[in-house]
Structure 1
Amino acid sequence: MANVFRQLFVDFFSAIVFLAVYAVTGDVLIATGVAIAGSIAQFVHARLTGKKLEFMTYAILAVVVVLGCATLLTSDPRFVLMKPSIGHFAVGLVMLQRGWMLRYLPPIVTDNIPEYANAAGYAWAALMFALGIGNIAIAMTGDIKLWAFYISVVAIGAKIVAFAIQYVVFRVIIARRLRAAATRA
């Protein structure tokens, strides 16, 4: 699970940098420029350290540069505020692949309830699409403080709540299955 959170941090690094710089400076254009530079630096660092770069790495860099430049050219923050939606939609599409979640789960889950893991994977995809749509709605208002709250509290909170619900549900179902198997034996 630590890998999942690390990957989310890597994928949303430029949004995190944008939020941090905006919180300090209150200037959208400075925050956008630093986010673009941070995204490019992250990419260069990955290349120099020999990390395998996936399609998403290139896509995220392109999105940050294109939307960031659109923000800088128009002085309209809505472009850069849309970036998390693209990330959510891309992750949601990946999560529509049957069985994607199985590699992240412990053997007790994959051995006992793989069908529930597949259903949970689709639920996660739906959550990603919902968060992406919510981000677009918030970004279109142009209110950066509301957007920052949505990205840092609502979106992250929704993922934490979803993870907690999944954990409890999986734990209850596995316990019931193991008890039932023990009584049959």
Structure 2
Amino acid sequence: MKDVFRRLVSDFLSTIVFLVIYLATDNVILATAVAIIGAIAQVAWSRYKGQTLSYMTWASLGLVIVLGSLTLLTHDPRFVLAKPAIGHVAIGIIMLKRGWMLRYMPPVVSETIPEYVTVAGYAWAALMFVLAAGTVAVAMTGDMKLWAFYISVVLVGTKLGAFAIQYAAFRLIVGSRIRAAARA
């Protein structure tokens, strides 16, 4: 689990850096420039350490450079604000693969309720698409404070809430199935 969170932070580090710099300075151009430099430095450091970089890391770097450069050239923050939406769409597409969640589940869950895990995987994909649409809608307003709130509170809170609901539902369903099997 710790590895998953570390990987997510790594994949979205440039967005985190952008958000922190923007909130500290209220300067979109500075935050964008620092995010671009930070993303390049992160990849350079990883390559220097001999690490193999994931597709997501390279894609994130490309998005930061392209969208960040467009923001710097046009002084329009909406380009860089849309980056998290692109990431959510990419993740949502990956989550459309049938049964993708099964490998992340404990054996008792994947063996007892695989059909529910598959449905939950599709629900997570749908959630990613909805969050991406919300990110684009908020980015199009150009309101940096609203975007910062949406990215840091709404996106994170929604995912944590969905995870908690899934955990509780799976726990109830697995428990019910195990009790039913014991009675039979």
- Give the TM interval when normalised to the shorter protein: over 0.9
Unaligned runs of 5+ in 1: none
RMSD: 1.0
Partner deviation per Cα, 1:71-102 (whole Å, 9 max, x = no partner): 00011100000000000000001100111111
Unaligned runs of 5+ in 2: none
Letter in 1 for 2:52: K
Residue 99 (str. 1) matches residue 99 (str. 2):
yes
CA distance in 2, matches of 1:2, 1:155: 20
Residue 39 (str. 1) matches residue 39 (str. 2):
yes
Aligned to 1:111: 111
Aligned length: 184
Aligned to 2:122: 122
> Following TM superposition, where does structure 1 have runs of at least 4 consecutive aligned residues deviating by more than 4 angstroms?
none
Is residue 99–residue 118 contact of structure 1 (8 Å, CA) maintained in 2?
A: yes
Partner deviation per Cα, 1:28-85 (whole Å, 9 max, x = no partner): 0000000001111111122122222222221111010000000000111000000000
Report the alpha carbon displacement of residue 7 of structure 1 after superposing the two structures with TM.
Answer: 2.3
Report the alpha carbon displacement of residue 136 of structure 1 after superposing the two structures with TM.
Answer: 0.2
CA distance in 1, matches of 2:53, 2:25: 32
Residue 176 (str. 1) matches residue 152 (str. 2):
no
Letter in 1 for 2:69: C
Of residues 8-17 and 86-95 in structure 1, the stretch that sits farther from structure 2 once superposed is 8-17
Aligned to 1:85: 85
Letter in 1 for 2:97: Q
Partner deviation per Cα, 1:90-144 (whole Å, 9 max, x = no partner): 0001100111111211111111111111111100000000000000000000000
Is residue 11–residue 87 contact of structure 1 (8 Å, CA) maintained in 2?
A: no
SS in structure 1 opposite 2:41? helix
CA distance in 2, matches of 1:52, 1:94: 20
CA distance in 2, matches of 1:138, 1:165: 26
Aligned to 1:161: 161
CA distance in 1, matches of 2:123, 2:85: 17
CA distance in 2, matches of 1:10, 1:105: 23
TM-score, reference length from structure 1: 0.96
Residue 21 (str. 1) matches residue 21 (str. 2):
yes
TM-score, reference length from structure 2: 0.97
SS in structure 2 opposite 1:52? coil
Aligned to 1:142: 142
